[in-house]
């Protein structure tokens, strides 16, 4: 199928092309141009006047949506993906909270089918190698140090589908585990940690390249001990996740991080659980009970924040309307930078040769239509 998306404001890495066009053939973008460049003939011409065309959102940290969770079996995975895609997320990484090893193996086996078929871009293990004192929504009984044999066993169980692992570097074997992950081509992320400034720097030197939801589940930056926040924010090798949903972080911190690191190092993530896109009520996360009230999810066991309930399109709008980013930079923090952080070279931009993932936003920056791999959803 050949498509010509014509007349909209096309957001590219070069900036916005007013009245531009995107030419799609099959599942690929084969051309992007401005109003001054005549679009090539195409099988189907779609008038996009009045719309902003952005790359499909890339979500690298979400646990589900639409009532489904990524650890709850194939039907729930399909439900979560459908919900995320309806909100413009065309590339998803399935994040799993800490689980006992048998349950983790089972979940990895189920998710592997979605990865092999291209429905998921990989799996993110958020635990179980996390600090018990910073467990957040994770069951502390299931947290443990990254014993080398178990790290290798988990990687083998993932059979090449694990793309990122979040761990606490201060645990026994933590730095060695980071080196092992990086050597296996898996992104190591620092999170749910008590690590100090020096140890966090050592973790980055060992191969960690992502900060899992910066500020959340880690010590605050203090005058004489800046802790992991400043170490991760200051290092140009690190991409920092921000849950910029208005619940997990004060807007002033979001603006400060954007000013300090720039959109090229900030990946806005939802940390969405099954409640994303759903009304307030009772949900589960990793077998734990969650109550969502007023759009805020909390664990019943310890009242900790239990992930988010927003979707990537909400983060895009907030990036523009609250945090002051241009639409081009909003696309970077919700698509381009997250894709680059996990080495997803096929998505994240509107450019020739990449997968044809395009989101049409109306004047209110609300999702109107979603194209994934050249097909309308």
Q: Which residues span the domain enclosing 10?
A: 2-54+351-376
CATH number at residue 16: 2.30.40.10
54-58 mean pLDDT: 98
Contact of 233 with 261, CB cutoff 8 Å: yes
pLDDT tens digits along 291-334: 999 999 999 999 999 999 999 999 999 999 999 999 999 999 99
Task: Answer whether residue 277 shows pLDDT above 90.
Answer: yes
Give the pLDDT band (50/70/90) at residue 89: very high
Question: What does each C-alpha distance from 238 to 36, 125, 193, 209, 232 come to in angstroms?
Answer: 39, 18, 16, 4, 6
82 with 17, same domain? no
322 with 364, same domain? no
Q: What is the spatial distance between Cα 57 and Cα 87, in angstroms, rounded to a whole number?
A: 9
- Closest-CA residue to 287 (of 56, 33, 107): 107
Task: Answer whether residue 40 shows pLDDT above 90.
Answer: no
Q: What is the spatial distance between Cα 244 and Cα 267, in angstroms, rounded to a whole number?
A: 10
Q: Which residues are catalytic?
A: 271
- Tell me the two tokens of residue 329: 């930079």
CB-neighbour burial class of residue 105 (10 A; exposed 0-12, middle 13-18, buried 19+): middle
Q: Is residue 170 part of a domain?
A: yes
Chain mean pLDDT for the chain = 97
pLDDT tens digits along 233-256: 999 999 999 999 999 999 999 999
Q: What is the spatial distance between Cα 33 and Cα 222, in angstroms, rounded to a whole number?
A: 49
361-376 mean pLDDT: 98
Task: Answer whether residue 194 shows pLDDT above 90.
Answer: yes
Q: Is residue 100 part of a domain?
A: yes
Question: What does each C-alpha distance from 48 to 21, 76, 159 come to in angstroms?
Answer: 9, 34, 42
Q: Identify the pLDDT of residue 185.
A: 98
Buried/exposed code over 194-232 (b: 16+ C-beta within 10 A; e: otherwise): bbbbebbbbbbebbbbbbbbbbbbbbeeeeeebbbbbbb
Q: Identify the pLDDT of residue 138.
A: 97
Q: Is residue 135 part of a domain?
A: yes
Task: Answer whether residue 37 shows pLDDT above 90.
Answer: no
107 with 15, same domain? no
327 with 294, same domain? yes
pLDDT tens digits along 138-148: 999 999 999 99
pLDDT tens digits along 344-356: 999 999 999 999 9
- Closest-CA residue to 196 (of 174, 166, 165): 174
Total domains in the chain come to 2
169-192 mean pLDDT: 98
69 with 185, same domain? yes
105 with 223, same domain? yes
CATH number at residue 215: 3.20.20.140
Give the pLDDT band (50/70/90) at residue 62: very high
Q: What is the spatial distance between Cα 345 and Cα 340, in angstroms, rounded to a whole number?
A: 7
Q: Identify the pLDDT of residue 14.
A: 86
Bond before 128 cis per omega within 30 degrees: yes
Give the pLDDT band (50/70/90) at residue 192: very high
Give the pLDDT band (50/70/90) at residue 1: confident
Q: Identify the pLDDT of residue 39.
A: 81
Q: Identify the pLDDT of residue 42.
A: 72
Q: Is residue 346 part of a domain?
A: no
Cα 37-39-42 angle, rounded to 5 deg: 170
80 with 153, same domain? yes
266-287 mean pLDDT: 97
236 with 371, same domain? no
189 with 91, same domain? yes
67 with 47, same domain? no
27 with 65, same domain? no
105 with 134, same domain? yes
Q: pLDDT exceeding 70 applies to what percent of the chain? A: 100
Tell me the three state secondary structure of residue 255: helix
Q: Residue count of the chain, please give it.
A: 377
Q: pLDDT exceeding 90 applies to what percent of the chain? A: 97
């Amino acid at each position: 199928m050949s498509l010509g998306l014509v007349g909209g404001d096309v957001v590219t890495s070069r900036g916005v092309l007013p009245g531009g066009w995107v030419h799609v053939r099959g599942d690929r973008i084969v051309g992007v141009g401005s109003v001054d460049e005549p679009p090539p003939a195409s099988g189907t011409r779609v008038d996009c006047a009045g719309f902003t065309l952005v790359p499909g959102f890339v979500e690298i940290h979400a646990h589900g949506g639409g009532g489904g969770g990524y650890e709850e079996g194939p039907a729930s995975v399909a439900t979560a993906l459908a919900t995320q895609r309806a909100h413009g997320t065309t590339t998803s990484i399935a994040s799993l909270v800490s689980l006992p090893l048998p349950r983790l193996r089972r979940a990895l086996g189920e998710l592997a089918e979605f990865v092999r078929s291209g429905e998921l871009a990989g799996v993110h293990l958020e635990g179980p190698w996390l600090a018990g004192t910073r467990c957040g929504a994770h069951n502390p009984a299931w947290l443990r140090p990254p014993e080398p044999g178990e790290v290798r066993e988990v990687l083998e169980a993932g059979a090449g589908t694990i793309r990122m692992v979040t761990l606490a570097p201060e645990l026994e074997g933590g730095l060695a585990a980071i080196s092992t992950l990086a050597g296996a081509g898996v992104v190591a992320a620092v999170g749910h940690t008590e690590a100090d400034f020096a140890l966090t720097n050592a973790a980055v030197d060992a191969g960690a390249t992502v900060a899992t939801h910066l500020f959340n589940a880690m010590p605050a930056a203090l005058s004489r001990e800046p802790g992991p926040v400043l170490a991760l924010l200051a290092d140009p090798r690190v991409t920092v996740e921000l849950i910029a949903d208005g619940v997990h972080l004060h807007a002033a911190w979001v603006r400060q991080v954007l000013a300090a690191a720039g959109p090229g190092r900030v990946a806005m993530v939802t940390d969405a659980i099954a409640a994303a896109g759903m009304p307030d009520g009772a949900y589960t996360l990793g077998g734990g009970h969650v109550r969502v009230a007023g759009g805020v999810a909390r664990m019943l066991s310890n009242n900790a924040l239990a992930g988010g309930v927003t979707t990537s399109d909400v983060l895009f709008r907030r990036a523009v309307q609250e945090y002051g980013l241009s639409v081009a930079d909003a696309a970077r923090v919700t698509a381009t930078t997250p894709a680059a952080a996990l080495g997803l070279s096929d998505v994240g931009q509107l450019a020739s040769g990449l997968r044809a993932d395009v989101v049409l936003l109306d004047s209110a920056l609300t999702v109107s239509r979603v194209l994934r791999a050249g097909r309308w959803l």
